[in-house]
Chain A
């Protein structure tokens, strides 16, 4: 276990190094560097001033030096400077993190509370009308684009209440915040619950085919005990192990949903930064996303090794 942990940790660092190089290189070959863009925006071109900006941003240095400077800054929490708002990028991002975290957290609660029980029901009632209905619902959840679902909710709000529930100012009370975030969270959560439901269903069906379930039935355990005590317990583990996948799916929904509902979160900031072609910030946010995903997967692997006694790591 100890050597497995060390080896797995080494691979994680290697992966992060690899993705950081890819992010860095891809955004360097992107059309138009930041100095050009700043000058286009200003509307005049004075070559000496442009040179000064390139020096100030370190764009005149060799790529390796630029890369090392970036990684060094990243490790120290220096995320660069946002020219759009004229503030350090960190000051721009920090207040956005709790906003995104709240929406994501609420969405996750929604996804688990809806997805897991319905997935179990769907598996237990396999091939009944209820199962077909639930499968069609979950499949449609995966088929609706997150941004369209958000727009439909806005449309329904206009039709029924005459207002658009998009973010206009920071909510003051807890209940106002809950009301503000719960609609976009439900939109993101509905799609994630569809994924959760499918995963739970197939995992549950897989377990229900096992010998020990037949044994439990044979010894006379009631259907309830078999399904919920024996099967569900074993079916939940695989659902937990793909939490990295679920987190990634949730994030995908967040990016567009924050844009549709005008929520000032990190995901929308990423889109804005891409639109402004402010690549130093894009580079940092994407790198942080990679770090979070890789860390989640690392933690899940470790948990899995600790929780499931069948898995041995002798390599």
Chain B
């Protein structure tokens, strides 16, 4: 099992690890694609945090006279049917994507960790029950499970996060269970038991931290998928509702009509989704190569 020890790994690889910046520079040289991904993600997070500072218009203010206005100096990416500035909506939309992406990944991952850790560590009937639950949750494709949950809960920002997180539970539960199964046989667990630590404490303090590496790999890989699912749900009208500026929602139903009349309404939100998901995927691959060398491809 690999633990997360950047410094030692870096020193072994011959990097100058005196400062944080030189370590970063080393990563950037070693994983150029990962660095591009990280840069895209940084831009995305920056846009989400500083949205009011880098936009001129309110993303929700409608203006009938600007309905379907073409891209211009005043409105760089044009305006939508309601006359709302597309650039502002895309920048503010980063907040929605980030909230759903991180929220659902953490929530689903957290529940998955709880299930995986307890079933892997304690075994017995708990493990059997957990495995059946995972099987059941996995019998529907990710997107269909998210659709079912979203249809059931109704469209709202919170419900979208919950719906997607339920679909994400099985993968993290499986990853944590698999590492826990091998970790619990190791000597440091026995040693902790010998000094009288309680089982729950061993599981949380000693086993859990050692499952972090595969979890981080999974989490980065899932972040992109989560953002994509949110966009898809919103596109279908089942995710984040109006007036929130969700990228998927901006492309919804009438998109096929705008293909002919207002292509800027189709191109830019889609470009934003693709760029961010591409960034997370690049970053995810690099994180996997760094933390889980056995899977390196």
- Complex Cα distance A113/B285, Å? 25
- Choose one: A31, A202, A205, A282; the contact of B154 (CB below 8 Å): A31
Tell me, rounded to whole Å, the shortest Cβ–Cβ distance linking B295 to chain A.
7
Residues of B in contact, count (CB < 8 Å): 45
CB distance from A71 to the nearest CB of B (A): 16
Given A155-B263, A205-B297; A16-B281 close (CB under 8 Å): no
Closest to B146 in A: A252
A interface footprint on B157-179 (CB within 8 Å = 1, 0 otherwise):
00000000000000000000000
Segment 208-232 of B: residues with Cβ below 8 Å from A = 224, 228, 231-232
Interface positions, chain B 260-297, Cβ under 8 Å from A, are 260, 263, 266-267, 270, 273-274, 277-278, 281-282, 285, 295, 297
B256 contacts A286, CB within 8 Å?
no
Given A139-B278, A256-B232, A282-B151; A18-B136 close (CB under 8 Å): yes
Q: With A151-B259, A259-B236 given, is the CB distance from A143 to B278 under 8 Å? A: yes
Contact B255 A151 (CB under 8 A): yes
A145 near B135 (CB under 8 angstroms)?
Answer: no
- CA of A77 to CA of B220, assembled, Å: 42
CA distance A128 to B140 in the complex (A): 38
Across the interface, do A151 and B270 meet the contact criterion of CB distance under 8 Å?
yes
B141 within 8 A of partner (CB): yes
Tell which of B152, B235, B259 touches A155, judged by Cβ atoms closer than 8 Å.
Answer: B259
Given the complex, which residues of A lie within 8 Å of B132, measured CB to CB?
A: 11, 14-15, 18
Residues of chain B lying within 8 A (CB to CB) of residue A166 = 256
A142, B281: Cβ atoms closer than 8 Å: yes
Closest to B252 in A: A147
Say whether A22 contacts B136, CB under 8 Å.
Answer: yes
Flag if A154 contacts B152 (CB, 8 Å).
no
**A32 CB → nearest B CB, Å:** 9
Contact of A30 among B147, B151, B231, B278 (CB under 8 A): B151
Closest B residue by C-beta to A126: B297
Give the residue name and chain of the B residue nearest to A148 (CB): B270
Given A15-B135, A145-B232: A255 and B274 interface contact (C-beta under 8 Å)? no
How many interface contacts (CB-CB < 8 Å) are there between A and B? Answer: 147
Distance of B194 from chain A, by nearest CB (Å): 31
Q: Is the CB of B152 within 8 A of A29?
A: yes
In the complex, are the beta carbons of A293 and B266 less than 8 A apart? no
Complex contacts, B149 vs chain A, CB 8 Å: 26
> How distant is the Cα of A164 from the Cα of B228 in the complex, in angstroms?
25
Beta-carbon contact of B274 and A140 below 8 Å: yes
* Closest A residue, CB atoms, query B260: A158
Residue of B nearest to A250 (CB): B141
B231 A293 Cβ-Cβ under 8 A: no
Please tell me the size bucket of the interface on A.
35 or more
Known contacts A14-B132, A151-B259, A202-B297; decide if A26 and B141 are in contact (CB<8 Å): no
Within the assembled complex, what's the spacing in Å between the Cα atoms of A26 and B137?
13
Measured CB to CB, the closest approach of chain A to B289, in angstroms, equals: 12
* Proximity string of chain A (281-308) to chain B, C-beta cutoff 8 Å, 1 when within and 0 when not: 0100010011001100000000000000
- The answer to whether A151 touches B266 (Cβ under 8 A) is yes
Say how far B138's CB is from chain A's closest CB, in angstroms: 8
**Closest residue on chain A to residue B231 by CB atoms:** A145
Q: Interface 1/0s, chain A 147-181, versus B by CB < 8 A?
A: 11001101100100000101000000000000000
Say whether A146 faces chain B, with CB atoms less than 8 Å apart.
Answer: yes
Contact present for A145 and B274 (CB under 8 Å): yes
Knowing A31-B154, A256-B235, A274-B147 are in contact, say whether A154-B256 is a contact too (CB < 8 A): yes
With an 8 A cutoff between CB atoms, is B60 at the interface?
no
Q: Does B143 lie at the interface of the complex (its beta carbon under 8 Å from any beta carbon of A)?
A: yes
Task: Give A101 to B143 CA distance when docked, in angstroms.
Answer: 19
- B139 contacts A26, CB within 8 Å? no
> With A143-B281, A164-B260, A289-B144 as given contacts, are A136 and B33 in contact (CB-CB < 8 Å)?
yes
Q: How far is the CA of A294 from the CA of B136 in the complex (A)?
A: 9
> How far, in angstroms, from A152 to B274 measured CA to CA in the complex?
12
Could you list 8 examples of A-B contacts with CB < 8 Å?
A: A15-B139, A18-B136, A30-B151, A146-B232, A155-B259, A164-B256, A259-B236, A289-B141
Additional A-B contact list (6), CB under 8 Å, known A201-B297, A260-B256, A262-B256? A144-B274, A145-B235, A151-B266, A164-B256, A248-B142, A259-B236
Which A residues are closer than 8 A to B by beta carbons?
11, 14-16, 18-19, 22-23, 26-27, 29-31, 123, 132, 135-136, 139-140, 142-148, 151-152, 154-155, 158, 164, 166, 201-202, 205-206, 248-249, 251-252, 255-256, 259-260, 262, 270-271, 274-275, 277, 279, 282, 286, 289-290, 293-294
The 7 closest A-B pairs by CB, nearest first: A248-B141, A148-B270, A18-B136, A143-B278, A252-B143, A26-B152, A143-B277
